Each structure stands twice: as structure tokens, then as C-alpha cells.
């Protein structure tokens, strides 16, 4: 192995509304300790890893939801995780709700290196759901009410031996997410997710098709950009609302190296070689040789579809 890295998805089981940040951090610390014992270099926690998936709750007054947000990072509750990461030499990705000093709300992920320093920040670009109470849905998904779209783009950082990128949950369904990072030579894309096991607008769309879509987009994103991908779930039953698990690690061929077996706190560990990204990047996905950007203008010029006149 030329650039070996031991990586892990640190899947979270459900977090209930009443669970304190301290209780949640203690669970994350346990997983980090277990990962360190197994020789893990880099650990990927989930989206909104410190709280229940609160966008399912409606608040007339948006400020009432500020209890779910972190005003600084690290803070009193999360500093034990940073301290432990530094002591054990484990880097990590962590998703949380961010409230900035200027009063902006983002669905955020940070990348922390093995010395416990924040080396990267990403704010979720593709916010699913709606911004007003929707009586037509079986349950609410109010991300558009509580968060602003991310304002940092899709950066890639050279750290911990490779080119590292981040995105969050719904971002994985958009090929543009992976391609923008692919164009920066990304070798490992990390993402956390909270995905309900059933579509709130289509009850017949249950776990079978939803987990298929999850694998489909993670495997496609990996293969088409010749990069490793780690997808980490928050899973299980939160307040009667099931979220699927299936946290997994995908290689640059699009093949799954490991997948979670439970919907509880669980580590999925793989020893990877970042140099396995090189072959695809130099051959079929050598972007400089094969891309034809003169035909891709619509990608950035329009959002909705514009079908031809009938």
C-alpha cells in the first residue's frame, strides 16, 4: 500500500428529543475509543450528530429551534470529543447545526485532523423539504425553514495524506456535488445522513427502494470520480420516525467495502489505499482529456428543466 489509511463510518443509533448533548457526546467518544483501538485514522460521524433530527418538528417561531444549534465549535459539550481525538490521534468528520455570531443557521460538517484542529468546514448546499407546515405529508421535513443554503461551495482539503471532501445527506443525490469535488482531485468524500425509511409523500416508497437509492448514488459518485466515499447514517427509531442505517464505505470502482448491519451505534471499518484513486483518474475519468465543457453550459446556466416545445 502506497498511501494507506484506516477509515471508519461511525453510525449513530437513534437520538431522542430528551437526550442531552453530554449523553450523545459520550456515545460518540465510545465509538472514537473503539475506532482508535482498531487503528482507525479517520472517523466519519453523521449529519446533525449531536441531536435528534429536529427538522421533523414544526415551530411557529423559528427562534424556538435555536436550542438544537451550536454557537461555537468546539464548545463545552463537544470539547471531550476533540480532546480524545487529539489524545488518540484520530481525525473525524462531524455534522451539527451551526448558529453563527451573525445569526445565520447552517446544516454544517467539520473536518478535524489527528491533532484535534478543525481543518475544514462545509455547509449543506442542497436542503430538501419545505419551509412551511405541510398538511399533505405523513411527517414534516422542515430543513428549508430552519437552515440557509450553504455558502462555502464544495471545497477539498489536502490533509491526513490525501484530498478530502465533505457533503451532507441530500447532497449525495446530486452528481454536481461529487463532480465539483472530483474537479479538485478529491480522493475521499465523507458524508453523514438522516434519511427516513419511508417517503413522507409516498408511503409505498419504503426501506427497500430508499436503501437502493442510497447505495446507487454513493456508488455512482465514487466510480464516476474515482474516489472513496464514506456514507454514515443516523439510524433507528427517533420518536416513532424510522431512519435507515446502511452506513457504508465505497471504493473508487464503486464497490462496497463494508456496510453496517444494525440500526444502532456501529463502526464500519476498512483499510484503504488512497492511491487506488489514481488509475481511474488517469484513464476513463481523466477529466482534462475527456470532459467536453462546451456542452455543459446548462449545468450552471439553469436550475429547472426546459423541455423542447411539443
Q: Is 170 in the site for ligand CDV (CB under 6 A)?
A: yes
Q: Which stretch binds ligand CDV (CB under 6 A): 15-23, 27-35, 187-195, 253-261?
A: 187-195
Q: Is 206 in the site for ligand CDV (CB under 6 A)?
A: no
When the beta carbons of 59 and 278 are compared against ligand CDV, the nearer one is 59
Per CB under 6 A, the segment of 71-79, 86-94, 131-139, 192-200 that binds ligand CDV is 192-200
Any contact of residue 195 with ligand CDV (CB under 6 A)? yes
The span from the CA of 245 to the CA of 263, in Å, is 5
Say if residues 219 and 257 touch (Cβ distance below 8 Å): no
User: What percentage of the chain's residues is helix, strand, coil (to nearest 5)?
Assistant: 30, 25, 45
Position among 74, 80, 128, 155 found at the interface with ligand CDV (CB under 6 A): 128
Q: How far is CA 81 from the centre of its chain?
A: 18
Q: Would residue 234 show up in a list of annotated catalytic residues for this protein? A: no
Query: Which listed range, 19-27, 57-65, 189-197, 278-286, lies at the site for ligand CDV (CB under 6 A)?
Result: 189-197
169 sits near ligand CDV (criterion: CB under 6 A): yes
Q: Which listed residue (193, 223, 244, 285) binds ligand CDV by CB under 6 A?
A: 193
**Pairing mode, strands 162-168 and 188-193:** parallel
Q: What are phi and psi of 115, to 5 degrees?
A: -95, 5
Residue closer to ligand CDV by CB (options 10, 218) is 218
Binding track, positions 47-86, relative to ligand CDV; x by CB under 6 A: x---------------------------------------
Region of 60 (left: φ > 0; alpha: ψ -120 to 50; beta: rest) is alpha
Given the rule CB under 6 A, which of 62-70, 79-87, 165-173, 278-286 is the region that contacts ligand CDV? 165-173
Instruction: Give the number of residues in contact with ligand CDV, rule: CB under 6 A.
Output: 10
What grid cell was written down for 175? Answer: 452528481
The grid coordinates of residue 81 equal: 470529543
Given the residues 98, 143, 167, 169, the one annotated as active site: 169
Q: Which set of grid coordinates corresponds to residue 169?
A: 445527506
Taking the least distance from each CB to ligand CDV, the nearer of 169 and 186 is 169
Closer Cβ to ligand CDV, 170 or 247, answer by number: 170
Q: Is 173 in the site for ligand CDV (CB under 6 A)?
A: yes
- Pairing relation of β-strands 118-123 and 156-159? unpaired
Q: Applying CB under 6 A, does 141 fall inside the site for ligand CDV? A: yes
Rounded CA separation 81/79 (Å): 5
| Residue where the block lists cell 483518474 | 281
Annotation says 169 is catalytic? yes
Q: Cα 250 vs. chain centroid, distance in angstroms?
A: 14
- Report helix, strand or coil for 84: helix
- Phi, psi angle pair for 36, to nearest 5°: -60, -40
Q: Are 95 and 168 in contact (CB under 8 A)?
A: yes
* Enzyme catalytic residues: 47, 124, 169
Using CB under 6 A as the criterion, which residues of the chain lie in contact with ligand CDV when the complex forms? 47, 128-129, 141, 169-170, 173, 193-195
Amino acid at each position: 500500500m502506497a498511501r494507506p489509511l484506516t477509515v471508519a463510518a461511525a453510525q449513530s443509533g437513534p437520538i431522542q428529543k430528551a437526550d442531552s448533548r453530554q449523553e450523545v457526546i459520550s456515545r460518540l467518544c465510545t465509538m472514537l475509543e473503539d475506532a482508535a483501538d482498531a487503528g482507525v485514522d479517520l472517523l466519519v460521524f453523521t449529519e446533525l450528530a449531536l441531536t435528534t433530527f429536529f427538522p421533523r418538528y414544526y415551530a411557529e417561531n423559528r427562534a424556538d429551534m435555536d436550542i438544537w444549534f451550536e454557537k461555537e465549535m468546539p464548545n463545552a459539550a463537544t470539547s471531550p470529543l476533540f480532546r480524545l481525538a487529539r489524545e488518540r490521534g484520530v481525525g473525524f468528520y462531524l455534522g451539527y447545526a451551526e448558529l453563527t455570531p451573525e445569526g445565520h443557521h447552517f446544516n454544517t460538517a467539520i473536518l478535524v485532523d489527528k491533532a484535534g484542529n478543525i481543518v475544514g468546514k462545509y455547509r449543506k448546499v442542497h436542503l430538501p423539504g419545505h419551509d412551511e407546515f405541510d398538511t399533505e405529508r405523513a411527517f414534516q421535513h422542515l430543513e428549508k425553514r430552519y437552515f440557509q443554503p450553504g455558502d462555502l461551495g464544495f471545497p477539498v482539503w489536502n490533509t491526513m495524506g490525501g484530498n478530502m471532501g465533505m457533503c451532507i445527506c441530500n447532497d449525495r443525490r446530486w452528481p454536481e456535488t461529487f463532480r465539483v469535488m472530483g474537479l479538485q482531485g478529491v480522493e475521499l468524500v465523507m458524508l453523514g445522513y438522516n434519511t427516513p425509511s419511508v417517503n413522507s409523500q409516498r408511503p409505498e416508497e419504503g426501506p427497500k427502494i430508499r436503501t437502493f437509492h442510497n447505495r446507487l448514488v454513493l456508488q455512482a459518485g465514487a466510480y464516476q470520480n474515482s474516489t472513496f466515499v464514506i456514507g454514515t447514517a443516523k439510524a433507528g427509531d427517533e420518536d416513532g420516525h424510522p431512519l435507515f442505517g446502511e452506513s457504508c464505505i465505497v471504493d473508487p470502482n464503486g464497490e462496497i467495502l463494508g456496510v453496517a448491519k444494525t440500526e444502532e451505534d456501529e463502526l464500519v471499518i476498512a483499510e484503504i489505499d488512497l492511491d487506488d484513486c489514481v488509475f481511474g483518474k488517469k484513464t476513463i475519468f481523466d477529466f482534462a482529456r475527456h470532459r467536453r465543457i462546451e456542452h455543459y453550459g446548462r449545468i450552471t446556466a439553469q436550475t429547472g428543466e426546459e423541455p423542447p416545445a411539443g
